[in-house]
Chain A
Amino acid sequence: MGIADSKTVPKREARLDAIETFGGPLRDLVKHPGGGCLINCRRSFSQTCNCQMGLSLSMLNTMPDIVIIKHGPVGCGNSSQNDKNFTSGLRARDIKVRPLIWASTNLNENDIINGGEKKLREAIISLDRLHRPAAIVVLTTCAPSIIGDDADDVVEKARAETSAKVLLVRCEGFRTKISAMGYDDVYHAILKGLDLEDQREEDLLARRVDNEEFLWRRDYEAQRTINVFNAFSVGRPDELEIERLLNALDLKVNFYPNFAHPDAFRRITRAALNVGLCPTHDDYFLQYLEERYGMPYFIGEMPLGLSNTAVWLQELGRRLGREKEAALLVAQEEELLQKGLDLYRPLLRGKKVFITGGEIRVVVTAMLLEELGCELVGLRGHHYDLFGPHVYGKLLENHADLEVNIATTQTFELANLLKRAKPDLVFAHGGSGVVAAKMGVPVVPVFSQGQYYFGYSGAFSIARRAAKALQNPAYFRNLQANTRLPYKKEWFGRSPFDYIRKE
């Protein structure tokens, strides 16, 4: 059975052997293909983090010309209060800046008893008339799912009455502990609800006789066009860097899914290759595009840092018949970059770094920092799955005993690990950095949409920002001296993994 035939999205626990609970040496983690037998671990103490709805929103909150309806009590998805990432992302891409439009069906006690289907239906119809968006995206939350609202039915029926396409994202938080499944949920809604081919163009062509030249040109363009799949953590500067490198290989680039207009998905099938920048993000959709449209795809390690960018470009070159060009480009870029990095090597040499964030990003960041002369003293990924062993394996040779933690934030484990590792610098995902900051350690965010992170410009930017953070740690030292973490002293004498239980 293919992906599109299924009503629901399979859980990543099953589909990718994903886990979010592990603590121990790297050699033990990579023994397992994906999470494998670690899948039954859990925590007897845990902290709040996110759910698949949050990660669904990280994609949807970038889509121009849509209205998002959160079907649930008013707090669900309320993190969208800040739409700065959306507006600045639009500005960076020269798209007309509009506020993010979202609504909540605001389910109250009465709705929990009597059901919220009517409210949802009315919300879809009213917001379609009011805003006339290209698409309306409905997200379902825990409460309506438990009380049995049939959102599929409501959406199906509403479609007959709206000018907008209506998409349904089922992302109830309690369904999975692997919140990255939210990406699959959105892609599932996209592949079910948006046009992935330009039917209007096909219809027009069918009526023309002399369309050979047009078709020839279209195929030629498609052969040299690739789709690159971005993510919340990939800002416009990163897109520009990727585009610069691929243009140098005489390739045209379209970016999906973030900041792509719903109508732009019609052209998605007109490309030679789909490339996912982040293995955590796109495999579900890229598999679908291969299955349904025969489009090949490539999900490598992130093109970040010297070695990984080189491997990534060479692999693309190999797949698209541009091997020589890719090798030349890599050589040229590396030569230029080395001169830039030399500015910061003296400052970074021997500095102990600790990295916490997304599964793959932390490893490729670690590899770059090692290339810069830093010493890796700790690593933690938000989850671990079938994409893990290959990239984590790259660290095995030098770091088999490195203490690795798999945890979706769980900042108490982070605090304990930092106390032991005593890093000079921490690279942290949003929300976790403040823990290191309160421990007096300078922090660089593992992503920041306004700055370069990927490719050669990214390597330079990371080196520069690491050096910048190290040059004046005053803010962090002052914070450490005057604040404290919410844990008892004894915690720091125990193993950071003491609350991990095997069932």
Chain B
Amino acid sequence: MSVVEGAVLALLLLCVLFIIRVFVVVKTGSQFKPGTRGPVSVLVVVGSGGHTTEILRLMDSLSSAYSPRHYVIADTDRMSEEKICSFENSRPHPNSKSQFTICRIPRSREVHQSWTSSVVSTLKALRFSLPLVFRLRPDMVLCNGPGTCVPLCVAGLLLGILGMKKVLIVYVESICRVQTLSLTGRILYPVSDYFFVQWSSLRDKYPRSIFLGRIV
């Protein structure tokens, strides 16, 4: 009897400690300044269609201090791969070498997929995302809404929770979202370190978000 009670108590304590740890990792994100120690490695989650266009415009504005750049795309997406390659080749390379890689993982949610099956496929994608993020150990994850970002951000968060490396989660909500956040946005809002929205009505609803006008 007392053993069971002890086990339950230990489990509860572990849960509380875990929650406190997550809270600390997320809260101290803004104090983490990887840029002071040299180049910042970025993991860029590229969706499809409009998402790709938007995120490449954001990448275009970032200086060469953000390198290497690891692009993650869904394995069914050929269009984005071409776009990334032509974008990277058009970038000026001050050091005469462009540092970027393209990684493919299974898509976590097709458009119009049901809730329950997206949970299953997200878990599947997590199996690929964890080794990827643990191997690359990026300083930040940049994403703007495709479902693929959730497992990758979770993997990044886990690195921070385990104390291996703080990974900043930077989320930019799509310009299409004026009044409501996307599903991915709602999931990542509590755990992201920098959460950008592009319309003031969203900033009013989500006070932790950052509003700099339209940025794509």
Partners in one complex: no
A residues near B (Cβ < 8 Å) are none
B residues near A (Cβ < 8 Å) are none
